[in-house]
């Protein structure tokens, strides 16, 4: 969450508000697109290493984004700011559903 980490739900809301604002800037939108693509590539590698379908990477990212936004709206803090916080947060909340939904190759 970068500079928004450690600020709880307010930080998550600020992060997504800033992301939407930047996506409207013609000079910055391509950078956000490149960042999104890099994130999708990283998730695809993780899915492949777990024996899962890599094509679901964007869906996994969308699910994580939606979960973070819903948590922020509900006033939940979301992940903390240390390096492994997001992975732990996602594993606790998202992984059980993803395992149930994702077909094993």
For 35-70, the pLDDT digits (tens) are 888 888 888 888 888 777 778 888 888 887 887 788
DSSP 78: -
Phi-psi domain of 2 (left: phi exceeds 0; alpha: psi -120 through 50; beta: other): left
Residue 105 lies in a domain: no
Residue 1 lies in a domain: no
Q: Which domain holds residue 56?
A: 9-99
pLDDT band, residue 72 (cuts 50/70/90): confident
Residue 2 lies in a domain: no
Q: What are the residues facing 52 on neighbouring strands?
A: 104
Q: Give the number of domains in the chain.
A: 1
Res 97 pLDDT > 80: no
How confident is the model at residue 2, as a pLDDT? 61
């Amino acid at each position: 969450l970068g500079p928004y980490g450690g600020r709880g739900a307010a930080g998550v809301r600020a992060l997504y508000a800033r992301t939407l604002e930047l996506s409207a800037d013609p000079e910055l939108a391509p950078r956000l697109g490149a960042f999104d693509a890099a994130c999708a590539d990283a998730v695809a590698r993780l899915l492949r290493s777990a024996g899962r379908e890599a094509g679901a990477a964007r869906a996994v990212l969308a699910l994580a984004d939606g979960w973070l936004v819903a948590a922020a709206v509900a006033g939940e803090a979301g992940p903390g700011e240390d390096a492994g916080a997001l992975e732990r947060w996602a594993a606790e909340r998202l992984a059980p559903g993803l395992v149930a939904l994702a077909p094993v190759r």
